[in-house]
Structure 1
Amino acid sequence: MAVFTPVSLQDLTPWISSFSLGSVKDIKGISSGIENSNFFVTTEKGEYVLTLFEKLTFDELPFYLNLMQHLARKGIKVPAPIPDKTGNILHSLCGKPACLVTKLEGDWQPQPEPVHCAEVGDMMAKMHLAGKDYPFEQPNLRGIEWWKQTVPLVLAYLPVEASLMLQNEMRFQEEFAATRLYWKLFRGPIHADLFRNNVMFTGNRLSGFFDFYFAGCDTWLFDVAVALNDWCVDLESGELDQIRVRAFLDAYHAVRPFTLDECAAWNAILRGAALRFWISRLYDYYLPRDAEMLIPHDPGHFERILRLRIAQPAPELFL
């Protein structure tokens, strides 16, 4: 992620001594993203990823780190937090909360094909089922309550038409969130940010999901919608690629079948997933934080996607 807090070898060397990883050989900042400071760290024992958390607090972080540990122990391909010599997985470095996790093999897939979408759908369903018995609760911190707080901050930057669409969609989503149907949907821990650049592949085989620091308890269907709006779209137009859509949804459904309630809620949830990222990109674009390496994403991309999801019927969850 963007480097907000620099870390030098001199900073890292005494800190790493609390782990059984040998001495540090190299540290390199990771430039993509907008939330945390991330680094590749090489020690005598191997390669790892170091994260310094810029927004999340010591009180909030156990939910995320323990979730990753829980999923890893159940065979889900995620980075596993590295405990220090006393067994702790949450630490402090340069005045910020910090953790060290295993580094996944491979690379992300910028131009996914149906085979990649099927791999992601399959693993997402397995992840949802594996998280059913996760004992900790934390709401999705970028859920509808955050939308309500953030929309007033960005409205003044928008032209009239976009401002009206944003306000109208917020009303639609607030009304939907108050329905009985919404509260009947299956829920549990979700990734909530499973874009292409948060999944690693070696060839066509998925090697892991990472960056769980937007995770929270929400509807499983919202997780599906977030992923579909990235993995299965044409990036220029925002249009859904129906072949990739079917590969993703069919692979998920084969592991964890969708319900009739989820089918009824699907259009609203798909719109909500587009709205969530339009709002966050507007916020990051117009109200940015300083960072050593930070390129905000174009908010127009998810404005286009939301317009399409409002105008067009949602794809069938299962055939």
Structure 2
Amino acid sequence: MNLHVPPPSPRRPLHVRLATPRGFCAGVDRAIQIVERALEKYGAPVFVRHEIVHNRHVVERLKGLGAVFVKELDECPDDRPVVFSAHGVPKSVPATARSREMLFLDATCPLVSKVHVEAERHHAAGRHILLIGHAGHPEVVGTMGQLPPGAITLVETEEDAETVQRPGDAPLAYATQTTLSVDDTAGILAILKRRFPELPDPHKEDICYATTNRQEAVKRLGADCDLVLVVGSKNSSNSARLVEVAMRAGARDARLVDDASQVDWAWFDGVDTLGVTAGASAPEPLIEALIDAVRDRFDATVTEDDGARETVTFKLPRVLTA
């Protein structure tokens, strides 16, 4: 008996635009290399205080190589190396490591270290610092921990900027978390400048080049895409900001996904143009796997946007290259 088997339904066409730049930045690449080189040089285990970068896949891969992630130094033995995460640490952390005669490797992004140096310079000049950032983020904790308690006031929102008070008659300065939304930060700074005219003119130098470049690339996507998928982990500040920037730029929908397994294909109803990018701590293979999953379901045409070409690199600690 001949059964009529209908031909498979043709796959719906879909235009996929890949943002440039996307994924790893120089600071993230350096931090991961520090853990990998430490494991090669000293063997496992190598302890890492906090997640080296905010990406679940990166952390799990390094665990498989022998890295042990801890919250605080008191979980580390004295005789094994410990790496400080890319987000930076309060001054008390390396001070404690030195007092215990531990071998420690600082993977703080050099652009975060630059903010630390600026904060110390302002403090030495007698200025009180207004830090624009998100409470509890490791980078903010690290920056505030560079100075004595009370030397920095955190400003999270435009509402905070309208109400923050100068302590006494202290002159003011400001610094910013490196992974913020460029546009949100500009709004907060405009309010602070209006209230405290002696503040320097708003600038973007504290927000790192990689954050700025990825946000500019997503603005271009959001203006023309029905859906934007941002590959990155939920605790990644720069990844979360990309979702916000895409929506503000005009995308009908934007979602943050750790990887292709988190995609709900119902999001694609009515989607003709998909934008894809990744936060600065997300590896390129996750993006490639997402594109493969899209191709499995759609007749996808993939194009790569023009954007900034990043050539920045940061040196590794000398102890790992000698």
Same fold judged by TM-score > 0.5? no
TM-score by length of 2: 0.25
Whose RCO is larger (CA < 8 A, sep 6+)?
2
TM-score by length of 1: 0.25
